[in-house]
């Protein structure tokens, strides 16, 4: 009888620079095979066409994945004018063409209309379920899924360069559930020409930034050496946007055991100054996260205990 596979106790995040042409699932499997953590997951899928930041959670960090996925994201992307494709990116078949090409002034003029909270129709080739089926499965089978518009947020959109008549490069900062492929399509519609996403690179996800990224090639060259672990970021990196609340050791032990902590004493008023009822906090002690907790009616109640 084969013995149970031995795994490594690794808790934290890798800011992986996912290469173009690889699925997010394949990237996760490569990391799993390399570091052999007890648990592994990722904070926000990147299409195979895209490259860039794919935060990969190891061990206890998997408990914080949802907070990463809710964070803002920054993308650099290139739009190809004059052609619409069935997938809204360069991997799909061309379904419509035009000789019309926008200049830099025309492009800049339409950008403000995409800022703020807007309605967006997701691409037909997406993982959204329509009638219980994945939209991309329906599209590949020749059906035309009805993609309902949804409300999304675009915080910033800038034109970086016009490479030539056919291509322009942008940078955008978006909220959760935003499709850059749909933006590339809609920019062309606003400019009177079909268009699609030509290239895409993600440079930020929540508290993770471009300068923290490491390539698969570098990680694999380090192998199982201590050098590989030097690139593992703390679990708390994913929680930069969540208020931190310092606890005493006694309070921390109560949270670890699943019990709530009352903070109604007058001596705690300073700690509660920035909190509102229902807020999620990162409970800390000794500079280390203890739990994700919720502030309710003067109590801190554990949501996810972190065994660090």
Q: List active site positions.
A: 47
Instruction: Show the tokens assigned to 270.
Output: 């300073």
* 224: CB partners within 8 A, 6+ apart: 34, 35
Q: What are phi and psi of 306, to 5 degrees?
A: -105, 120
User: CA 11, CA 53: separation in Å to the nearest integer?
Assistant: 19
CA 250/CA 285 separation, integer angstroms: 10
In whole angstroms, what is the distance from residue 160 CA to residue 179 CA? 19
> Read out DSSP for 174-236?
E-TT--HHHHHHHHHHHHTS-EEEEEEEEEEETTEEGGG-EEHHHHHHHTTSHHHHTTPBPGG
Query: What 3-state DSSP class applies to 108?
Result: helix
**Which residues share a beta bridge with 168?**
79, 162
Phi, psi of 252 (to 5 degrees): -60, -40
- Long-range pairs of 261-268 with CB within 8 A, sequence gap ≥ 24: 261/299, 261/300, 262/298, 262/299, 263/295, 263/298, 263/299, 263/300, 264/298, 264/299
Residues in contact with 182: Cβ distance below 8 Å, sequence separation at least 6, in sequence order:
88, 120, 121, 122, 123
């Amino acid at each position: 009888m084969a013995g149970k596979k031995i795994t490594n106790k690794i808790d934290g995040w890798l800011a992986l620079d996912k290469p173009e042409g690889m699925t997010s699932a394949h990237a996760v499997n490569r990391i799993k095979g390399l570091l052999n953590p007890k648990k592994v997951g990722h904070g926000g899928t990147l299409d195979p066409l895209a490259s860039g930041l794919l935060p990969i959670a190891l061990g206890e960090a998997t408990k914080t994945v949802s907070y990463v996925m809710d964070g803002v994201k920054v993308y650099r992307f290139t739009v190809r004018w004059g052609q619409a494709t069935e997938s809204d990116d360069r991997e799909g078949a061309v379904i419509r063409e035009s000789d019309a090409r926008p200049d830099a002034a025309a492009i800049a003029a339409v950008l403000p209309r995409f800022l703020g909270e807007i309605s967006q129709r997701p691409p037909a080739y997406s993982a959204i379920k329509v009638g219980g089926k994945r939209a991309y499965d329906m599209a590949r089978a020749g059906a035309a899924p009805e993609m309902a518009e949804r409300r999304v947020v675009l915080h910033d959109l800038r034109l970086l360069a016009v490479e030539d008549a056919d291509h322009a490069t942008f940078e955008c900062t978006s909220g959760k559930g935003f499709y850059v492929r749909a933006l590339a399509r809609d920019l062309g519609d606003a400019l009177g020409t079909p268009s699609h996403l030509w290239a895409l690179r993600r440079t930020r996800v929540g508290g993770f930034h471009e300068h923290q990224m490491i390539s698969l090639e570098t990680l694999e060259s380090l192998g199982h050496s201590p050098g590989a672990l030097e690139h593992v970021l703390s679990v708390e990196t994913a929680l930069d946007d969540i208020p931190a609340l310092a606890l005493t050791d006694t309070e921390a032990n109560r949270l670890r055991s699943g019990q709530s902590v009352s903070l109604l004493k007058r001596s705690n008023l300073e700690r509660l100054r920035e909190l509102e009822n229902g807020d999620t906090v990162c409970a800390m002690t000794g500079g280390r996260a203890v739990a994700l907790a919720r502030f309710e009616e003067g109590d801190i109640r554990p949501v996810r205990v972190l065994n660090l």
